[in-house]
A and B are shown apart, each in its own frame.
Chain A
Amino acid sequence: MPSAPSAASPGASGAPPAIVTEGLTKRFGDFTALDDLSITVAPGDVYGFLGPNGAGKTTAIRMLLGLARPTRGRARIFGCDVATDRRGALAHIAHVPGEFNAWPTLRGAEMLDLLGSLRGGYDAKRRDELSERFEFDPSKRGREYSKGNRQKIALIAAYMMDPDLLVLDEPTTGLDPLMEVVFRDCVEDARRRGQTVFISSHILSEVEALCDRVAILRSGRLVDVGTLEDLRAINTRDVHVSFKRIPVADLGTVPGVEQLAVDGLDATFRLRGEPTPLLHALSGESVHSIDIREPSLEELFLAFYRDDAPKETGAS
Chain B
Amino acid sequence: MNTRRLAVRLLRRGALIWAALIAVVLFAGAEAYRAAYPLAADRARLIATLGSSRGLDALYGRGTNIGTPGGFVAWRYGSTVATVVALWALLAVTRIMRGDEESGRNEILMASVPGPRDLLDRQILVFVGAAVVVGAGATVGCLAGGLGWAGALTYGGMLAAGAALFGALAAVTSQLAASRRRAASSAGIVLGASYLIRAIADASSDRRWLAWVSPLGWVEHLDAYGHPRTGDVVVAALAIVVSSVLLFGLAGVLRARRDAGAGFYESAGSTRPPRPLHSLRGLDWRLNAGGLVGWTAGVGVVGLVLGFIAADIAKYVADSNNIRSTLAHVAGTSVATIKGFLGLSFSVIAVVVSVYAGTQIIAARTQEESGRVDALLTSGAARLAWLATRIAVAIGVLVAVTVAGGFAAWAGVRLSGQSIGLVDCVKGAVSTVPLAVLFLGLTTLAFGVAPRLTTLVAFGAVALSYAILLIGGLAQAPQWVLDISPFSHLAPVPAVPADVTTMAALAGVGALGVLAGGWVFNRRDVAVE
**For B525, what are the chain A residues with a Cβ–Cβ distance below 8 Å?**
62, 67-69
Chain A residues with CB under 8 A of B274: 107-110, 113, 138-139
**In the complex where A113-B276, A118-B381, A139-B271 touch, is A67 in contact with B374 (Cβ < 8 A)?**
yes
Query: Is there an interface contact between B378 and A95, defined as CB atoms closer than 8 Å?
Result: yes
Which residues of A are at the interface with B, using a C-beta cutoff of 8 A? 62, 65-69, 87, 90-91, 93-95, 97, 99-111, 113-120, 138-139, 141, 143-144, 154, 157
List the one stretch of B164-172, B242-250, B280-288, B501-509 in contact with chain A. Answer: B280-288
Q: Does B500 contact A (CB under 8 A)?
A: no
Asked if B102 CB lies within 8 Å of chain A CBs, one says yes
Q: Are B379 and A87 in contact (CB under 8 A)?
A: no
Taking the closest CB of chain B, its distance from the CB of A151, in whole angstroms, is: 12
- CB-CB under 8 A from A114, the residues of chain B are 277-279, 282-283, 376
Over the window 239-266 of chain B, the binary record of Cβ atoms lying under 8 Å from chain A Cβ atoms (1 yes, 0 no) is 0000000000000000000000100001
Q: Which residue of A lies closest to B104 (CB)?
A: A101
B375 is an interface residue with CB less than 8 A from chain A: yes
Residue among A66, A93, A115 with the most chain B CB within 10 A? A115
Q: Which residues of B contact A143 (CB under 8 A)?
A: 102, 178-179, 261
Q: Are B370 and A110 in contact (CB under 8 A)?
A: no
Could you tell me if A103 and B278 are in contact, using CB atoms closer than 8 angstroms? no
Closest approach, in angstroms, between the C-beta of A115 and any C-beta of chain B? 5
A125 to B284 alpha-carbon distance, docked (Å): 27
- Structural contact, A118 and B376, CB atoms closer than 8 A: yes
Structural contact, B380 and A110, CB atoms closer than 8 A: no
In the complex, are the beta carbons of B104 and A113 less than 8 A apart?
no
Residues of A contacting B372 in the complex (Cβ-Cβ under 8 angstroms): 101-103
How far apart are B294's CB and chain A's nearest CB, in angstroms?
15
The answer on a CB contact under 8 Å between B374 and A113 is no
Q: Across the two chains, which residue of chain A brings its CB closest to B182? A: A105
Q: Is the beta-carbon distance between A104 and B102 smaller than 8 angstroms? A: yes
- Residue pair B287, A93 in contact (C-beta under 8 Å): no
When distances are taken between beta carbons in the complex, the residues of chain B under 8 Å from A93 are 378
Complex contacts, B370 vs chain A, CB 8 Å: 101
What are 9 inter-chain pairs, A to B, with CB distance below 8 A?
A67-B374, A69-B523, A87-B382, A101-B372, A103-B287, A113-B274, A138-B274, A139-B273, A141-B270
Q: Is B526 an interface residue (CB 8 A)?
A: yes
B122 to chain A, nearest CB (A): 24
| A68 proximity list for chain B (CB < 8 A) | 525-526
Q: A67-B374, A109-B274 are in contact. Are A119 and B380 (CB under 8 A)?
A: yes
- The answer to whether B379 and A157 touch across the interface, beta carbons within 8 angstroms, is yes
A99-B371, A143-B261 are known; give 12 further A-B pairs, CB within 8 A. Answer: A62-B525, A62-B526, A67-B525, A68-B525, A101-B370, A101-B371, A101-B375, A103-B283, A115-B375, A139-B273, A139-B274, A154-B375
Binary contact track B274-318/A, C-beta < 8 Å → 1, others 0: 111111101100110000000000000000000000000000000
Could you tell me the distance between the alpha carbons of A105 and B290 in the complex, rounded to whole angstroms?
Answer: 11
Looking at the assembled complex, report how far the CB atom of A284 sits from the nearest CB atom of chain B, in whole angstroms.
Answer: 46
